[in-house]
Amino acid sequence: EDKVVQSPLSLVVHEGDTVTLNCSYEVTNFRSLLWYKQEKKAPTFLFMLTSSGIEKKSGRLSSILDKKELFSILNITATQTGDSAVYPCAGSNSGYALNFGKGTSLLVTP
Amino acid sequence: GAGVSQSPSNKVTEKGKDVELRCDPISGHTALYWYRQSLGQGLEFLIYFQGNSAPDKSGLPSDRFSAERTGGSVSTLTIQRTQQEDSAVYLCASSLVQYPGQGEKLFFGSGTQLSVL
């Protein structure tokens, strides 16, 4: 059975800190690993990773995939209070459904 | 509208009642998904519609759950004889692309918070 496990499940940091969120996966016929940001209810897309070792970057956020060890990390540098959200990752295979982890709940305090 | 619209945003119902949740996808998006998120859990796939093809219902948890999509646009998720374990946020997403697993192309609505008392 496919599964996606995220750690930590929750995290509290101070503004300006750097955080690393972890996502390990076991997905049959793996195609890609996706990261989302979920504020309130609607997840919004951050990154899609298909190749090992190639960093995707958007502003203060970056992510990388290790297909040998079956995990991905999401880094956020110089955190701001607006980064407070849940960050789910999801594994994608050849089917229609994404297999989501429970998400990491990040709280950035002033 | 510009995004995926879901209604109602909140629904409180009594155990045993039927509920209908509505999703209005982005205009022109042929793919439509329903996901469910229970408290403290990840998003769980329920059902997928693609154009006029037969839907992929493999994620529906029981025969009390059904969904339809009329005219290739608006979708309704129906839960019959609701149970307390049905309490969750029900999220709809739509996509322009027709290929499976293209998660970067998904646009989610704000969800319906269902509470079964």
At residue B71, the 3 state secondary structure works out as: helix
Label residue B111 by pLDDT band (50, 70, 90).
very high
Contacts of residue A42 in chain B, CB cutoff 8 Å? 91, 108-111
Residue B102, pLDDT above cutoff 70: no
Tell me what the pLDDT averaged over chain A comes to. 94
> Hey, is the C-beta of A98 within 8 angstroms of any chain B C-beta?
yes
Tens-place pLDDT, residues B56-82: 999 999 999 999 998 878 999 999 999
Tens-place pLDDT, residues A92-102: 887 778 899 99
> Hey, is the C-beta of A41 within 8 angstroms of any chain B C-beta?
yes
Residue A35, pLDDT above cutoff 60: yes
